[in-house]
Structure 1
Amino acid sequence: MGRGGQTMTDIALHIENLSFAYGAKKALDQVGFTVRSGECTILLGPNGAGKSTLFSLITRLYDARDGRIELCGFDIKRQSLKALANLGVVFQQTTLDPDLSVTQNLRYHAALHGMGRKAADNRIREELERLDMFERRGEKVRQLNGGHKRRVEIARALLHKPKLLLLDEPTVGLDMPSRQAIVDHVHALVKQQDLAVLWATHLIDEIADDDSLIVLHKGQIKADGKLADVLQTTECSNAGQVFQKFTQGGGPS
C-alpha cells in the first residue's frame, strides 16, 4: 500500500530498494517508503523485524551497499553532510552526559552543528521552554527522571532545526503521564513546524488517527500508508489488528 500525492519538495525521507544483511542473515529486504513534511509515521515491528538496522542505515552508523536513502533530496552516501544536517535523532538508550548540566549537554551538541554561542543559547531556551524544562537548565542530567531526560534529548535533537526527526522507542520505561506528554509534544511539533517524524514504537496507543503506519516484519514492509487507509484496505478496526494480521501474532517491540 503506497502513498500518493507527494512532491519532491515535501519529502523529508525517501528510501528505495534498501537491503542489508549480517553475513548470510538478511535484515532488510528491498525496503522502500517515503516520509513527508508535516507527517508522523509510526514504525511497528516485532523483535528482529529490522527496525534498528533501518535506523542505523538512515543515521549512517551502518552503510548500505544495496538501495538508496535520501534525506530532503540529498543522497546519504554521496552528500552525507548535507543529508545528515537535516536529521535529528533520539536513540532508545540515552546518550546525554550525566555529569554535565542540561545546558552544557545542549551547548555541546549545538557546537557540533557549528552554531555560535548566542544562537545556540537562544535555541536552547526556545526548545526547553517548549518542553517546560527551562527552569531545570542548570541541573545535572543525572538528577533528572526518565521523562525529563527524554525531554532534554528531544530538545537536543531539534536544536539545529532538522527537517526529519527519528525517534527510536523514545517512551520506553516512562510512566504514563511522561509518555503522554512526549506523544502530545511530538504530534504538536509535526503540525506546528511542518516536521517529519519517523517513530519506532511497540505501543499502539501512541498512534494518532492522522498518523501514517508502516508495519515491518522479517525485513519486509507489510503495510504502508495513512492509518485510515491501511485500516480500510486490511479490513481491520485498529492498528493492533493490523500488526497481528501481518506478524502472525508476534509481540511488537
Structure 2
Amino acid sequence: MTDGPFTPAVGMVDRLDSKGFGPSQEDYDFAEAYLAPGDLDPAWAARLADPERRARREALAAERKARDWPAISQYREANEALAGQPTDVVFIGDSLTEFWSVAQPDLFTGGIVNRGISGQTSPQILLRFMADVIALRPWAVHIWCGGNDMAGNTGPSMVQDYKNNILAMTVLAQAHGIRVILGALTPFNVVSWKPAVGDLSARTAELNAWQTALCAERGFVRADYFSVLAGPDGLMKPEFHRDGVHPTRAGYAVLRPVAEASIARALG
C-alpha cells in the first residue's frame, strides 16, 4: 500500500521493460571494429580513451545497477517472444558470449539462443538463470563465465563463491532436465580494465582444473576453449585477440567447432 501516486521505478512492480539495457549502436560498432582483422581503427582508440565518454558510460552502468543489478530486464521482451517456441541450447555468460552473436550471428539460429551480457560476473548470471535459461525450456545450457569474477567486476569474491554460483546453475539446470555444457575459461593474463588484480594465469588454471573435474564427476559436457586459443606460453595466441581477453573473429572461428561438437554431445 502507498500513500501517494504509484511510482513504477521504485520498489516491487508488476512490470519492468528492457529500456536502458542492452548494447547501444556504439557498442555494436565497437564490437565490429574489435572483431575485424588488422589493426584497430585509431579513431576507436581515441574514443575509448576519452574521459567524457568513460564518465558517461560509468554513469549509465551505475544507473543500470541501481535499477536492475543482474540485468534481468535486458532480455525480457526477447524471452517473451520465444515463449512456446522450441529451444535447443541457451548460451549464457558475459561479453565473450555476447560478442559471439556479433562475430557469428548465424550460429544463434535454429534453436540456439544467446543470453550473454558484457561485464557480468557469476552471481549476476545466476540471478537471471531462471528467466534467461529455465523459462526457455532448452535441451541444454552452455555456461561460460569467470573472467569478470577474477577481475572483481562486482567486487572481491572468493574462489568458493564462484564455484558455488556455477554449482547452483548446474543444479537448477539438472532439476529441470536441462543438460549442461561448461565452457573453459580462455587464456587470461592481465585484464586491461583492472590491471591491479595482477597476473591471472594461475587462477585461470585453477578454475579450469576444477571445472574439468566437475564435468567428469557429474557427466557434464566440457567445451575446452582454452586449448584451442592458448599458445605455448599459456597465453592467448596473438592472432586471436587484441586485448588478451576477448577473441576476435579469428578466435571465434576456432571456438566454433569446439562449441558445435559440445552441443552435439549434449544433445546426442
TM range (shorter): 0.3 to 0.5
Report which of the two has the higher share of helix.
Answer: 2
TM-score between the two structures when normalised by the length of structure 2: 0.31
The higher relative CO (CA closer than 8 Å, separation ≥ 6) is in 1
TM-score between the two structures when normalised by the length of structure 1: 0.33
Report which of the two has the higher share of strand.
Answer: 1
